[in-house]
Amino acid sequence: MREWGAALGPALLDAAVLVAAELITNAVRHAHKGPITAGAYLSDEALRIAVVDTSFDIPEVGLPDAEEENGRGLFLVAALADRHGFDPLPSGKRCWAELDLSAPLPIIATHVPQMRS
């Protein structure tokens, strides 16, 4: 995807890298076994990122409590991507996200919990 950076622009490239990282991390953390493959596909309209794993578990978008350290990956994917979903496969599933090339990226406000002493 970095080779397409000039065509994507810095904001879209940053969002795409984050989306890819989250999809790959989810596959590694939740598939537990078997191969994982990832790919990115660029068309005139959109960038599609897809990750295939061997788990049949259905991914769910959620937002955990502020104290939780994990569980925000698909929430970030949903916030950054124009479309996202999964396709069941005979050997697992394909999780994917698409980012439109002409649409502006959403601005996401982040909240960093204060450390308690």
Query: For residue 84, which of 105, 70, 100 has the smallest C-alpha distance?
Result: 100
- The model's pTM: 0.79
CB 60 within 8 A of CB 79: no
pLDDT confidence of residue 2: 81
- Domain 2-100 matching CATH 3.30.565.10: the answer reads yes
User: Please, are residues 15 and 47 in contact by the beta-carbon 8 Å criterion?
Assistant: no
Q: What is the pLDDT of residue 89?
A: 95
What is the full per-residue pLDDT of the chain (117 aa) written as tens digits?
888 777 788 889 999 999 999 999 999 988 878 899 999 999 888 999 999 999 998 887 766 666 666 666 788 899 999 999 999 999 999 999 999 987 555 555 554 455 554
What is the per-residue pLDDT for 87? Answer: 95
